[in-house]
Every structure is written in C-alpha cells, then in structure tokens.
Amino acid sequence: MNKQLIFSLIISFLITSCGNKKTDSSNKSERNEKEICKLPRVVEGPIALGFPKIEGLAPSVGKLNVTVLFVDFEDVPATESTDSIFSIINPIVPNFYKEISYERLEYNLNPHFEWLRLSKPSAHYGATIREFEPHRNFLQEAIDLADQNVDFSHTDVVLVMSNPKAESIPFGPVFKSLDSEYQLKTAEKSISVGITSGYDLNYWGGLWLAHETGHTFGLPDLYDFEGENQLKSVGTFGIMGTQAGNAPGYFAFERWVLGWIDDNQVICHKSGVTTSELSAIEKIGGIKAIITSIDSVNLQHNVYQLR
C-alpha cells in the first residue's frame, strides 16, 4: 500500500428506496443529521449494505471466533499437512482485521488440525455447494466428523477448508441462516454462519478469507457480476470489490456500519460550504468520512474518505 498516496475517494451509494419510502420521508424531520446519513438496508435477507448491521451473523466488534476444519476426499486425498494449509490464512487474516478495525475486532482462528474425510467424491460437493441446502449439508458433514473432538461453544463461524488440490470445487460460498431450524448444528449450539474454501484459495491466498468474512458480517459483494470492467464501481480499494488490489480494505461507510468508526467521526453535511479535516482512513482516530446527500428521496449519498 502506498501510504503517500492521498486522494479523495467518492463512493456513490445508488440505493433504490423500496416499500417504506413514505414512512422514511415523514420521519425525516425527526431524525438528526447523523441518522439521515445512516442509509438503511433496503434489501431483505442476511446480506445488504446499510444500517443497522444485520443481527445474528458474525460479530464485527469484540471477539470473532472462527473454528477451522480441514476436509479431503477419497479421490483427492490430502498431500500437505493441515498446518501448511492453515498458514495460508494465518496470521494474515487476524492481522488484517486488527488493523482495519482499529483494533476493535479480535479475529481468532481456532484450527482443528486433522484431515476429515468426507463421504462423497469431491465433484459431488463441487457441483452442488453453491446451493443453500447442499452447502449446509457439506458443512454439517464436516462438523459431525469433528464434533466429538471440538468444542464449538464459543464458535461464531465454522470455516471448512477443502483440500486446495480439489479442482472440482472451484470456489466455496458463505453459508448464512438467521433461522435456527436451518443453522449448523453442533453438540454445543447452533451456528448461523459457515465458510468453505475452494480451489481458488490457490489464486487469492489468505485475503480470500478476509473477503468472505465480510459476507459473514452481512456485507455484499461490491463488484459487477458481468461486463468487461467488473471493478468499475469501487476499483481495487475495497476488499468486497476485490482482494487483489494494491490496498484492499473497507470503505468508511462499511467501517461505520461495522462499528469501527463512531458517529462523531462522520460529518453528515446537508448544505452550503463547509471545511473539515479528514484523517486518513488507515489511521486510528479523527474524522473518517464526510457524507453529502445527492438525492434525499432516493437515498443517494456521496461518501468522501481520505487514504
């Protein structure tokens, strides 16, 4: 990261209001300035950008405990040690979150160093785990194999690392369920979030997990799924856009949602000319964002940050 590089980054959240626009408008006069800039989530389900952060998923402040399991397959047996695979994500991911959260998040990776042999060929899982139920079954099978020897009582997220030599599992999605009936079951508790690694771990390296962890907080992808320039929205400066940029991190608005920036570190500017000093986003303390409204009806804002 070139820390000498200083420029102002503008993010435009083009969020189309839905459903409760009228209620929102009528309450607007009662809101204080900060609340107007706290753009609400307008998408149903456990993944959306906006306030308040989705409850019941992974915590973004305090301790985040991730239990790490390792699985291989009869057709692709492990040839490396679990320690070796674990070193791809550790310590890079805990260090990433310590810095990016201004030390507000303690990211604990708790590995169970044993290759767990799943019952079906790797291609079976690779073909199905992009769907909710098969992915849940995949994670649950790994948990069941480990449950006797692993204490999940403090686990927030279960990370299942598949043998990275298994090409037929190209990438692993994130599992989320706010309904206890469908959550992952362990001897100690139900767990709402799980992550699977796939063959693309070889390409992305440890920051792959930094990106997927964003989904466990409820954050969406910030890249375009089609078109020639999939990074035209956020460039290479957002970990939810790409983990391959020169300075992958979280934007000020995401940090605010996640509880790493306080309300008094955000200036919500309504009108007229103002002068404020922004503190670089990567440093602890100071004003981290100035937010201006473009369109208060359709909830479009610009967020300025300095890096």
Question: Of residues 221, 231, 236, 245, which one binds Zn ion by CB under 5 A?
Answer: 221
Q: Is 217 exposed, middle or buried (0-12, 13-18, 19+ CB in 10 A)?
A: buried
**Minimum distance, C-beta of residue 158 to Zn ion, in the bound complex (Å):** 18
Stretch that binds Zn ion, among 2-10, 72-80, 214-222, 260-268 (CB under 5 A): 214-222
Considering the complex, state which of residue 82 and residue 192 has its C-beta at the smaller distance from Zn ion.
192
Residue 82 contacts residue 113 (beta carbons within 8 Å): yes
Nearer to Zn ion, 13 or 102 (CB): 13
Strand, helix or coil at 201? helix
Q: How far is the CB of 60 from Zn ion (least distance, A)?
A: 16
Binding flag, residue 200, Zn ion (CB under 5 A): no
Which residue, 68 or 210, has its beta carbon nearer to Zn ion?
210
List the x/- string, 16-55, binding to Zn ion by CB under 5 A. ----------------------------------------
The tokens for 23 are: 């209620």
* Closest distance to Zn ion from the beta carbon of 257 (Å): 16
Sign of CA dihedral 196, 199, 205, 208: negative
| Cα-trace Rg, the chain | 21
Q: Which stretch binds Zn ion (CB under 5 A): 159-167, 218-226, 242-250, 287-295?
A: 218-226
Q: Which is nearer to Zn ion, 194 or 267 (CB)?
A: 194
Contact 49, 40 (CB under 8 A): no
Cα separation of 150 and 69, whole Å?
10
- Residues 235, 275: Cα–Cα separation, whole Å: 27
Looking at the Cβ atoms of 213 and 305, the one nearer to Zn ion is 213
DSSP symbol at 80: S
> Which residue has the closest beta carbon to Zn ion?
221
Closest-CA residue to 51 (of 219, 272, 239, 186): 219
Give the amino acid at 136.
Answer: R
For the bound state, the minimum distance from the C-beta of residue 121 to Zn ion, rounded and expressed in Å, comes to 26
Query: Nearer to Zn ion by C-beta: 35 or 221?
Result: 221
Question: CA 102, CA 299: separation in Å to the nearest integer?
Answer: 28
Task: Please state the closest distance from residue 3 (CB atom) to Zn ion, in A.
Answer: 27
Interacting residues with Zn ion (CB under 5 A) = 221
